Amino acid sequence: MIHSALAGKTVLVTRGKEQAASFSAKLRAVGAVPVEIPLIAIRPAAPEEIASMVERLGEYRWLVFTSANAVRFFFPHVSLPRPLPEMAVVGRKTAAALAEHGLSPALVPDDYTAERLADLLMPRVKQGDRVLFVKGNLARPTLPEALRNAGAAVDELTVYETEPDENGRERLLSLLRRRELDAVTLMSPSAVDSLVRLLDKEVDALLSGVAVACIGPVTKEAAERAGIPVHICPTDYTTDGIIKAMEQYFSMEGR
């Protein structure tokens, strides 16, 4: 018998289809009932530009990734094994994506944010060092701006694009109107934006009584800026961390 406080709770999984399955499996393992409705769709960017930049990798001192998707959409264009710049990643998940290609980063911060990665990278970047920042179209400018201020020459390469996914709108509205969701998980600021767009003027009423869980402080800030109260935000910005935080939340008396 599963004794998790999440047992029997219906949890909305809003990740893109490619990443939803592993998160849902973890939720089922603690007895929760995941409902997958992607709020965003992730698509590859122009392959010609990526291939052209790959040919110039030898010009760079550092190769920086701030998401696992950046790794996944970049390396199909790279013929391995080959010499690569030193690599820095934002956290364990992005490092794991590198490991799938037999690669290890030189730098992984203990706090999975672009701000922390910038703090660790800047002392290692010399004046004039060239840095390739591999990103999605919605990546924040925090890291490249910090590196440029430290004297680095930073090129930015968009390898994937994140777009709102409205295919599940009617199903989502129906679930919320019937009060069938116990928790909504939000894994990125773009998911927050998509949720607000889908719910429109009903956002406050439909989310009333639903626990909102954000993967980390950047997503939490985006939700709060949109007027969405956040009940759950883990200190470990991973799927395991958000599940643990939800268990703690629902273990409180009366929930």
pLDDT value at 177 more than 70: yes
pLDDT of residue 197: 95
pLDDT tens digits along 199-243? 999 999 999 999 999 999 989 999 999 999 999 999 988 899 999
Of 7-11, 72-76, 122-126, the poorest mean pLDDT is in 122-126
Of 10-19, 95-104, 177-186, 238-247, the poorest mean pLDDT is in 10-19
- Phi, psi angles (nearest 5°) of residue 238: -135, 170
Q: What is the mean pLDDT of residues 63-85?
A: 94
- Does the pTM surpass 0.85? The reply is no
Q: What is the mean pLDDT of residues 167-182?
A: 97
pLDDT of residue 1: 59
Give the closest residue to 183 by CA, choosing from 69, 23, 40, 21.
Answer: 23
pLDDT of residue 205: 96
Confidence of residue 103 (pLDDT cuts 50, 70, 90): very high
The number of angstroms, rounded, from the C-alpha of 145 to the middle of its chain's C-alpha atoms is 20
pLDDT of residue 254: 56
pLDDT tens digits along 9-64? 999 999 987 789 999 999 999 999 999 999 999 999 989 999 999 999 999 999 99
Q: What is the mean pLDDT of residues 171-198?
A: 96
d(CA 34, CA 23) in angstroms, rounded, equals 9
Q: Which residues contact 17 (CB under 8 A, 6 or more apart)?
A: 36, 38
